[in-house]
Amino acid sequence: MALLGNWRSRPQRVRHTGWRRPSRTAVAFSLYALFALVGIALPTSYIVQSPGPVLDVTKDIDGKQVLAVTGTDTHESDTSLLMTTVTATGNADHGVPGVIAAGSLLTRELQLVPVRALYPEEVSSADVKERNLALMDFSQDTAAAVAFDKAGMDVQMTLTVAGIPEDSPASGVLEEGDELVAISSPAVDSGKVVPIGTFIDLAYVLDVTPAGTDVKLTVLRAGAEHTAVITTRAHEPDRTGWVHPGSMIGAAVGVSDVELPADVSYVVDGIGGPSAGGMFTLAIYDAVTPGSLGGSATIAGTGAISWDGDILPIGGIRHKINGARQAGATDFLAPAVNCPETEGFAPDGLNLWAVRTIDEAISAVDAIGAGDTSQLVPCSAIQLVEGEGD
């Protein structure tokens, strides 16, 4: 039998052309990538805040004045007064997608804020919008009343007791619904009776009355006048340790039936909240008084305005100062309580000044225009009291 050479079996090369079972590592990586993609697309529980639009309330937009005073004499002004805003991405219903939240961590101009730090769970985005529009209306009404009053024009309103805390000096003396008619204090003209036509009239007396002073209030109750004697109490210090001058009667006071000597209209569609009140007040005051309050300066600012002319704290100031500088402002008026929040965020070329009242704000704008800011308080001089949070 003949052998046809030496033969031995060889392994056969098999070529796979179909599906191959993936490795565990590949499966894990794919799942991770899928979850990551889903994660960056789904809403988070965060809102992203950034600088919003900046409006010069002394100028026009598309041929319409941002703020127009009619029904009285007005004066041209070279001063630019900028209101600043914050843009919020996300809302009370849901936060931003993960990809936007992650991106906000890469720049100082964006700030990631928990939704619930801004809005309670029971508040919807529709509720927030409605409230912000109402606050904008309130700020406009208050700004007009305060500005006209400070300009020496006739303003009238009704002040009514709206609430009295149990431990208040007014408890058992005043009643809800009492209409405040007049006030007298030994600290003002030896007890001269001052008629209360506006909230500023009431503040004029109380702001110079030391705590522990007996003041007399004339109130209208059920159609009859009554005299109420109240021992005033000191104000509580704010977060910076500052104490409001004078004293208080310890009652919440509501305002109604406001009568103004002129009309003010606004073109600020889509913007809500109370924080432009201070700048509105300055613009109205500048319009109805001769000359340019701040010369040719470009001055931005923020702060709500109260009926008695106090400048109240707001949110988002670090974004507002950035927006102001980008818009060309050289000076910024900030509520004093907000000043500590600007530390480390003040843009180059922008002077930050602390103000607590509209009187201080008017003086600040005048000083900036005159080129002498030596008497103004820089924001850097305002610090939080140890132990107080932002």
* Catalytic residue annotation: 275, 320
**Residue 383 DSSP label:** -
Gap between the Cα atoms of 142 and 309, Å rounded:
9
Torsion sign across C-alpha atoms 346, 350, 354, 356: negative
What region does 40 belong to: left with phi over 0, alpha with psi -120 to 50, or beta? alpha
Check: CB of residue 312 under 8 Å from CB of residue 306: yes
Gap between the Cα atoms of 169 and 242, Å rounded:
22
110-140: burial string, b at 16+ Cβ within 10 Å, e else: bbbbebeebbeeeeeeeebeeeeeebbebbb
Of 211, 233, 215, 226, nearest in space to 165 by CA? 233
Exposed, middle or buried by CB within 10 Å (0-12, 13-18, 19+), for 284?
buried
